[in-house]
Amino acid sequence: MAASGVWKASMVRSGREEVYVAAMPLRATKGPPQLLMSAAYSLNFWNFHHFMVIINNKPLNRTNPCSFQLLVYDFQPKDPEDPYAALAVLSGRSVPGAVLVRKLKKLPRNKCWLVGYSKEDAEKVATEFNKTWETSLRVGVNDCRHYTNGGKANPCMHAFHTHTYIHTYIMGAATVAIPEVVLESSNGQRRIPVIGLGTAPEASSKVSTKDAVVEAIKQGYRHFDAASAYGVEQSVGEAIQEALQLGLISSRDQLFITTKIWVTDNHPHLILPALQKSLKTLQLDYLDLYLIHWPISAKPGKVTYPIEQSELVPFDMEGVWKSMEECQRLGLTKAIGVSNFSIKKLQKLLSFATIPPAVNQVEVNLAFQQHKLREFCKSKGITVTAFSPLRKGSSRGTNMVMDNDVLKELADAHAKTVAQICLRWIYEQGLTVVAKSYDKERMKQNLEIFDWCLTDEDYKKISEIHQDRLIKGPTKPLLHDLWDEEDEHQLYFCFELCLGCNL
């Protein structure tokens, strides 16, 4: 690879890691068989337009989930129809294109050839290279559509194969394809992106929810987290329709939509009607995930916040959950889950559930790390989604995350923002996260967390951060038994809850 705006496989063995090239076959044979003659024929190079340079990295720390064995520079030629592209790069000649970064745990099934060793500054040069190459890449789960200065390439020629399970981080390009995890209780029907956009209303925001969701889709977000109590379902639905009309997505199936049932509908006979109402408002036929917002019930009626304790009624957890299971069986939601459930409440739910909760969405951030709850959920196959990852929403006082001096030091050391440090930590814990920002630049920054790692020293410093829950509960006065006294540190029961965090 050279810094002059070209990418090529280096035969120089001065680097540290082995470099392989993997060629990806087209869906249909391109070019006459006489092309490239015997050399091309032996390797079927006229069938290839899409190939990868694979750097065989050694894991930094085998116990660290952010450690990858393979770092892949996935090269997209400017002219993917040119049958000479693969041979040109392998022989060291310049071929214009764009470079994507992938992380793999094993080589793809297609043939791979060892061509040399990487240079130590390979990633830096690839990044600089992309800054000089104007391109727009749209990447889907199993599809890559490449639009270049040379014209619109045939999208049928850009089908990835089974290895594109691997998720792509595009340097200097238009979008980021976000890693996903399988929701265990949904029978493998749905994968949830590890980062989603929260839509809880925020009085200070000057951007509408509809515009924010459309912009987020442009940037690569695919998970959108709503709730009936947020009053944003109509805006989210309108944004989805606009994204379809603009061609930002080809179908609703490319999105992961979550919404939640409010406590006034937390009654067995109201679950299905509430879901049907949300679907109508969202203009959708199904949800990807439907959550019980809080493990309490209030008298049916309008959404009020905070909820007066006099409005609360006994929560029929078993009856409500059976109604949630029926919603999944009817195909109205691909998966069901809960939010703000303690270990004790999860144990009770699991004792009678025939479909276990796929997700428990709870507060997790560097000032409230929830180790015990996370370990319990992991042992039961329940995916944890973190809300309030940046600890925003307190009505007074300093932010124990964003204003933390230790985290500011880590951000400076990594040349990242404090928010990126927080989100990277959550990602490395194996969690999914809902981050709320309608600011275009911060949306972009929140996705720039997949190509670097925190160090063991970082983890040591993070472990020393004082722990305290931010979200105390949705009632006034607070329910002191809501969390079943499971907090790992003393809580200060002052009312700091606001709508901008999570209802």
Element (H, E) at 324: helix 317-329
Reading the block at residue 230, the tokens are 């947020």
304 contacts 268 by C-beta, under 8 angstroms: no
161 contacts 108 by C-beta, under 8 angstroms: yes
pLDDT for the residue 176: 57
For residue 365, the one-letter residue type is N
Query: Which pTM value belongs to this model?
Result: 0.66
The Cα–Cα gap between 383 and 43 comes to 44
pLDDT for the residue 473: 84
pLDDT for the residue 51: 45
Strands (E), 149-203: 151-152, 168-170, 180-182, 191-193, 195-198
- Between the alpha carbon of residue 384 and those of residues 220, 405, 482, the distances in Å are 22, 27, 19
The Cα–Cα gap between 267 and 127 comes to 53
- Percent helix / strand / coil, the chain, rounded to 5: 30, 20, 50
Query: Which residues face 98 on adjacent strands?
Result: 76
- What angle is formed at CA 327 by the lines to CA 321 and CA 331, rounded to 5 degrees? 145
pLDDT for the residue 82: 56
438 is catalytic: no
pLDDT for the residue 400: 85
The Cα–Cα gap between 322 and 161 comes to 39
Q: Is 46 helix (H, G, I), strand (E, B) or coil?
A: helix
Beta-carbon count within 10 A of 234 CB: 15
pLDDT for the residue 493: 30
pLDDT for the residue 249: 86
Query: Which residues face 258 on adjacent strands?
Result: 225, 289
Instruction: Show me where the domains of the chain are located.
Output: 18-170, 180-476
DSSP secondary-structure letter at 67? -
Residues 6+ apart with CB under 8 A from 403: none
Q: Write b or e for each residue in 412-437: b if 16 or more Cβ atoms lie within 10 A of its Cβ, otherwise e.
A: eebebbbbbbbbbbbbbbebbbbbbb
pLDDT for the residue 107: 52
CATH tag, 180-476: 3.20.20.100
Per annotation, catalytic residue among 20, 73, 221, 230: 230
Mean pLDDT by 10 residues, the chain (503 residues): 30 39 36 33 38 48 50 56 51 51 52 46 49 37 29 30 26 53 82 94 85 93 96 97 90 96 97 98 98 96 87 96 98 97 97 98 95 95 96 60 94 95 94 95 91 90 92 84 64 31 37
